[in-house]
Amino acid sequence: MTEDRQHPVLQYIINNPEAFAQNLAKTLENAGKALAAYLEPREKGEVKQDGTDELTNIIKTLAQVGEYWISDPERAVAAQTRLMNGYITLWNSSLKRMMGEATEPAACPPSRDKRFADPDWENNQYFDFIKQLYLITSKWAEDLVLDAKDLDEHTRHKAEFYVNQISNALSPSNFLMTNPELLRLTVESNGENLVKGMQHLVEDIRAGHGDLKIRQTDMSKFSLGENLGLTPGKVIAQNDVCQVIQYEPTTPQVLKRPLMIVPPWINKFYILDLTPEKSFIKWCVDQGHTVFVISWVNPDARQAEKSFEHYMKEGILNTLDIIKKATKQEEVNAIGYCVGGTLLAVTLAYMAATGDKRIASATFFTTQVDFTFAGDLKVFVDEEQISMLEKKMAEQGYLDGSKMASAFNMLRSNDLIWSYVVNNYLKGKDPFPFDLLYWNSDSTRMPAANHSFYLRNCYLENNLAKGKMEVGGQRLDLSKVTIPIYNLATREDHIAPPQSVFLGSSCFGGPVNYVLSGSGHIAGVVNPPAKHKYQYWTGATPKGDLGDWLDAATENAGSWWPHWDAWIREQDGEEVKARKPGANRVKILEDAPGSYVRAKA
């Protein structure tokens, strides 16, 4: 019986029809509960149906692609012919395979595509045919966008992004009857996976208060202050915008210049203080840095009018005052991560305009100051979409954290959306506990005024790079920033592409050390030396073309962290006696990681 079960067809036949029927009934019952969980808050008026504008924008964009091809009969026939030729090639190769002939596939997925890893995507002709049919069709749809010559660049970018999202959603790997692994699992478990999957779906819709909040990890396995954010420190100041944390020294001597870290407010700062083994903050403390971190508030309607200027003055500039009081030092080294780095760059330009020299060196992690090549996030930025977003933010004073999380997840939808849909709701499995994904799910809100200014001045108009941005009554000119800069990019970054960071290096007026790390926006930054992972490239002054720079660059194994620490010491390596939080009559408010970072969106 076991040998018979290995037959390619028999392994997909239900073993226990009665148990399967019972589980199918339970699955349908849970599906009804999921629908009820979705409808209930809408019937009560707690959730507004606000997806119409987004859908309209998608349809209008794709309609422009369709109009290009349909407007010319010859073009339309050529497009249809290309698709039919692909199908005919697939049909011919399939017939040859059925007759036992060796044949090359009509379409193959990229080697890094994890969706089709199961052997039956290739060994079983039924699933192989479906896979190739999907690949041919999705490639044809992508080519329709790329070959539509009358589209402006922004419309083409949006259309390409939307087609990719639709293509990813319609992959046969996402459906029970067209995924061999799912089908086998369902047969072997008599449908128990579907019962558990629907239970997960009910729980995730309820957790999202009527919207689907896809779990990416087991959230119960992590807690701030217990197994994340453990580096000892104290909150020594707070206001409506942020808390300031000073960390306990672990060395008798420390660098004279304190270190101020400006994290993004789009996410929470403890990405730099996950487990002790991964913590950049702990590592810096252990190297002899006096570390101060800005922990941004998780805003609500009270922060609706907090702008970029408020975040600069009440965040960075106020923290510089606090650091001076705590350490009696005028000069600091500063780090800015992602949008925190953009704010730091804005602050540096403002300080240059006002003669403030307290920041002696600046380090940027995956930071954009020139948004010409800002990547797929530009898909969401045009006058129409920003106006719609501003209208929604005006209703409650902030952008809900789930909206930003969804946008970031869509940049890698196969990895961050559909793989979890398959795992959680079709396989019925619990996601693996992973601290990074816990952090990724711990979203934050965006103040309306701040977010609107950021989108318009950076993504839409690129005013910072053009020298047209005005903050605090000053017109900002990055070329006036002449302090040494360490500019870190990551090679696989979807949020701050390395080309964008490279181009931004030329905006500054002083020496810029451009460093390119392996991996992406998070893993390329959070890469402790002890892990011996990835690599980084160092090279000449970042001018000209990134490809030419990389061709001449030196590849170095492992983490860039020691390289950065050596660079910091080259600026000023003088050491003094270690400083503890609470010195110089600075009041201690609470233990790190503080209360602001614990607030849930």
Q: Which residues are catalytic?
A: 338
Measure CA 262 to chain center.
Answer: 18
Strand, coil or helix: 401: helix
User: According to DSSP H, which parts of 124-241 are helical?
Assistant: 125-146, 153-169, 180-188, 192-207
> Which residues lie closer than 8 Å to 110 by C-beta, 6 or more apart?
none
**Among 328, 326, 321, 266, which Cα is nearest to 297's?**
266
Q: Are strands 332-337 and 359-365 parallel, antiparallel or unpaired?
A: parallel
Is-contact 540 218, C-beta < 8 A? no
CB atoms within 10 A of CB 404: 19
Residue identified by tokens 């999705």 is 138
Token pair for 175: 């459906």
Cα separation of 536 and 519, whole Å?
9
Nearest to 446 by CA among 347, 340, 298: 298
With beta carbons less than 8 A apart as the criterion, state whether 371 and 363 touch. no
Give 224's DSSP letter: B
Tell me the β-bridge partners of 517: 490, 536
| Residue 49 in tokens | 């149906």
Report the alpha-carbon distance of residue 340 to residue 531 in Å, rounded. Answer: 26
Neighbouring-strand partners of residue 332: 359
d(CA 325, CA 247): 15
Percent of residues in the chain assigned helix, strand, coil, to nearest 5: 50, 10, 35
Amino acid at 516: L
What Å distances lie between residue 443 and 218, 309, 416, 446, CA to CA? 15, 23, 15, 10
Residue reference for tokens 């239900």: 14
β-strand pairing of 242-247 with 233-238: antiparallel
**Alpha carbons 30 and 17: distance in angstroms, whole number:** 20
Beta strands in 320-445 (DSSP E): 332-337, 359-365, 398-399
Contact by Cβ (8 Å): 594, 587: no
Give the whole-angstrom CA distance, residue 413 versus residue 114: 13
Nearest in space to 456 (alpha carbons), one of 447, 444, 469:
469
Whole-number Å distance between alpha carbons of 100 and 505:
59
Q: Which residue has the tokens 């909206």?
A: 403
